[in-house]
Structure 1
């Protein structure tokens, strides 16, 4: 037993020493040059061969020898193309069948004859959803299906605003009035909006935040995107 403990302690010490070993100057220089927008203070060898620790303030990132691939926050980034490779892969493996979305629970905005299609799960009071609305006005040739998805635990008035949009004579005008112009609208009496159905659908699809975007090929993306980047994403670029 003592021998086993001694071996275990020896391995731990060995790993600790290996992790603390400074990377060769040439490697450190190459990584810093490749990731010049990150204020790297020092580069050390990690316990995994070919992977290096990057010290940035009180945070540690990881990168390969060339500095092209960066690991941060559980994601792998291509520093050359600025792509989040982990997010891209997640979108590929978590695709849904767009044709099976209950589009009668959504309303159309954008270009009704657009060749590109987009579904959005949106909360009328979500700051990033409102920011996205301004970007969508710059997006041409895209047919957008809006699923109203109010998160009341975060935005107490979101459901009322969602119902006001759905039950308005002009849903897009009401959406703009609330989400871009900042008006406080309420639904008419007897309004029946598919809010509960949308919440159940979102839960089934694993949607926990807004905005959540779904491309025509079934890829999903959680969060805001500017118009130019959104168009490229819809086109699979």
Structure 2
């Protein structure tokens, strides 16, 4: 299912939430009767369209009428006047991570220029898309990149992550491997519990794949997006507040 800017979404929610409560029981009852195997609905909210309600199941969004008879799946709600994707705005809100909450001590760090702009990445050393993203990141200017090693692709990923994390200059070893295919040297030992903490943080925030990018404005993006998209997000974060 498709994953769905958050100030506007929150404002709409506050204005319309009483309407959702009035219909929530009927919607839940209707869905349960017609779709007994439908997953647990975590939240029911109104939308700007009268009679249309948002159903949140984890990070997935569905839409229903007031009785739970009709269901829209994999649908995006678009405000044609403003050209705003309200579904995507809601997903951005749900998936946001406070950048200040990141345990930066558990990340590899490298920077370009003055390092003023900040970006965090969750990555696996054996992830092909992570390698593609790492090449893209080298074209950024005035940025600090925090890489959280998240070995999820098997035993070799864990071995490589430990070797990289325990290296004396771990950021250089990371870049050597991701950009130049120079394998990390195993043997050095250190406290590698950071890797488990990274995976626990990822589970808490439902980061299930690599790469995952986290920006200063709280938004996150899954996958190896292009340079222009990264720049746009960095500018948005830099203008926050």
Tell me the equivalent position of 2:198: 198
Matched, 1:107 2:108: yes
What 5-or-longer segments of structure 1 have no aligned partner?
Answer: 1-70
Count of residues in Structure 1 that have an aligned counterpart in Structure 2: 165
1:143 counterpart SS class: strand
What 5-or-longer segments of structure 2 have no aligned partner?
Answer: 1-71
Alignment check: 8 A CA contact 2:166 2:188 kept:
no
Tell me the equivalent position of 2:229: 229
Q: How does 1:167-186 map to 2 (within 5 A)?
A: 167-186=166-185
1:88 to 1:191, Cα distance in 2 relative to 1, 3 A: same
Q: TM-score when scaled to structure 1?
A: 0.61
Over 6 Å off, 4+ runs: 81-84
2:188, 2:172 → 1: CA distance?
19
Q: TM-score when scaled to structure 2?
A: 0.60
2:83, 2:226 → 1: CA distance?
15
1:137, 1:113 → 2: CA distance?
14
Which has the higher mean CA deviation after the structures are superposed, 100-109 or 204-213?
100-109
Query: Which has a greater percent of helix?
Result: 2
Alignment check: 8 A CA contact 1:123 1:210 kept:
yes
1:179 counterpart SS class: helix
2:225, 2:83 → 1: CA distance?
15
Shift of 1:220: 1.2
Tell me the equivalent position of 2:147: 146
1:113-162 per-position Cα deviation (integer Å, ceiling 9, x unaligned): 42221111111110100000000100111111111011134xx4111111
2:108, 2:171 → 1: CA distance?
9
1:31-76 per-position Cα deviation (integer Å, ceiling 9, x unaligned): xxxxxxxxxxxxxxxxxxxxxxxxxxxxxxxxxxxxxxxx995446
1:191 to 1:73, Cα distance in 2 relative to 1, 3 A: same
1:77-126 per-position Cα deviation (integer Å, ceiling 9, x unaligned): 799x9987633431134322211211111121123742221111111110
2:119 counterpart SS class: strand
When Rg is computed on C-alpha atoms for both structures, the one with the higher figure is: 1
Shift of 1:207: 0.5
